[in-house]
């Protein structure tokens, strides 16, 4: 299996959960540094040649990718009127266009195998919206369109595609938020706390398991109730 952005945060917890099950795991990131036991590849997902090279190495060492967790993502927040074309494009390129590139490349092997599991890491923000995150919310909502279209294109070959929509998770991405802001967010969350990366990983391993064989095109919230009704 391959998890992108497996060097830290949610992606690392996902990689560790699959390793604990005894699976062969490859991780990618720009900086490198995946968990012990994983095939650790340096790959900037915005570079098509780097993605192709990473797949070639994974296929040589592990065979075709049967489970793809497209998790790598970035934010570059600012209010709409201040958002530059570059801030828009950078986030869309990393979160949405790179995911298109990944699912296209992965699906080749899955179609040959006639099975596969694709999990796309979205966000509660895709459904709720968020001030200062027009670029990020658009990229994360786009993943839902990809998953639902792929379910229709690939579903008959036993390839499922699902979206996980975490709320706030304790990672580097949220650690940078000021204390008062973190407290204000927690007040809005029915469960009253942020998630641990492991709690998101549990949903991902379930989606990749036999137990979830009939789940596809779903958007699964892991948000402590924050996005209820959306
Ligand atoms: P982190 O910032 O902790 O980790 C992001 C990972 O993605 C790193 O491994 C990073 O490695 C990698 N990455 C970023 N850009 C690229 C790139 N261009 N090419 C390859 N790898 C890249 O993020 P989180 O663990 O917090 O988030 C993981 C996913 O979950 C993201 O998609 C995020 O949007 C989503 N999410 C997070 C939430 C949260 O509260 N934390 C809430 C909802 C969704 P490197 O920098 O070395 O490239």
Under the banding of pLDDT at 50, 70 and 90, the label for residue 172 is: confident
State the pLDDT at residue 23: 98
State the pLDDT at residue 62: 98
Pairing state of beta strands 116-121 and 39-42? unpaired
Under the banding of pLDDT at 50, 70 and 90, the label for residue 230 is: confident
**Å from CA of 93 to ligand 1 middle:** 13
Closest-CA residue to 160 (of 150, 168, 170): 150
**Å from CA of 211 to ligand 1 middle:** 27
Segment 184-212 shows an average pLDDT of 97
State the pLDDT at residue 229: 82
Under the banding of pLDDT at 50, 70 and 90, the label for residue 177 is: confident
Domains and CATH numbers, the chain: 2-222 (3.40.50.720)
CB neighbours of residue 41 within 10 Å: 21
Residue 178 has pLDDT above 90, yes or no: no
Question: Residues enclosing ligand 1, CB less than 6 A?
Answer: 4-5, 7-11, 28-31, 43-46, 71-74, 94, 121, 123, 166, 168-169, 171-174
Segment 126-145 shows an average pLDDT of 97
- Please tell me what DSSP assigns to residue 194: P
Task: Give phi and psi for 65, each to the nearest 5.
Answer: -75, 120
The pLDDT mean for the chain works out to 97
State the pLDDT at residue 105: 98
**Å from CA of 22 to ligand 1 middle:** 24
Please write the tens of the pLDDT for every residue from 67-116.
Answer: 999 999 999 999 999 999 999 999 999 999 999 999 999 999 999 999 99
Residue 176 has pLDDT above 90, yes or no: no
In terms of Cβ atoms closer than 10 Å to its own Cβ (0-12, 13-18, 19+), residue 55 is buried
Please write the tens of the pLDDT for every residue from 28-59.
Answer: 999 999 999 999 999 999 999 999 999 999 99
Atom of ligand 1 nearest to the CA of 73: 32
pTM over 0.95: yes
Who has greater pLDDT, 154 or 185? 154
State the pLDDT at residue 199: 98
How far apart (Å, rounded) are the C-alpha atoms in residues 203 and 213? 13
State the pLDDT at residue 28: 98
Atom of ligand 1 nearest to the CA of 46: 18
């Amino acid at each position: 299996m391959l998890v992108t952005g497996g060097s830290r945060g949610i992606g690392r917890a996902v990689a560790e959960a699959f390793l604990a099950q005894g699976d062969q795991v490859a991780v990618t990131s720009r900086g490198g540094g995946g968990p012990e036991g994983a095939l650790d590849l340096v790959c900037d997902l915005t570079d098509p040649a780097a993605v192709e090279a990473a797949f070639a190495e994974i296929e040589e060492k592990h065979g075709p990718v049967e489970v793809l967790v497209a998790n790598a993502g970035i934010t570059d927040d600012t209010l709409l009127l201040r958002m530059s074309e570059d801030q828009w494009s950078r986030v869309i390129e990393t979160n949405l266009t790179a995911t298109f590139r990944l699912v296209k490349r992965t699906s080749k092997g899955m179609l040959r195998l006639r099975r596969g599991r694709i999990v796309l890491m979205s966000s509660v923000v895709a459904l709720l919206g968020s001030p200062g995150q027009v670029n990020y919310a658009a990229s994360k909502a786009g993943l839902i369109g990809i998953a639902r279209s792929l379910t229709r294109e690939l579903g008959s070959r036993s390839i499922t595609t699902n979206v996980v929509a975490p709320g706030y998770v304790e990672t580097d991405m949220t650690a940078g938020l000021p204390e008062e802001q973190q407290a204000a967010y927690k007040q809005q969350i029915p469960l009253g706390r942020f998630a641990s990366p492991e709690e998101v990983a549990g949903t991902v391993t379930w989606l990749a398991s036999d137990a979830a064989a009939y789940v596809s095109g779903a958007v699964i919230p892991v948000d402590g109730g924050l996005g209820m009704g959306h």
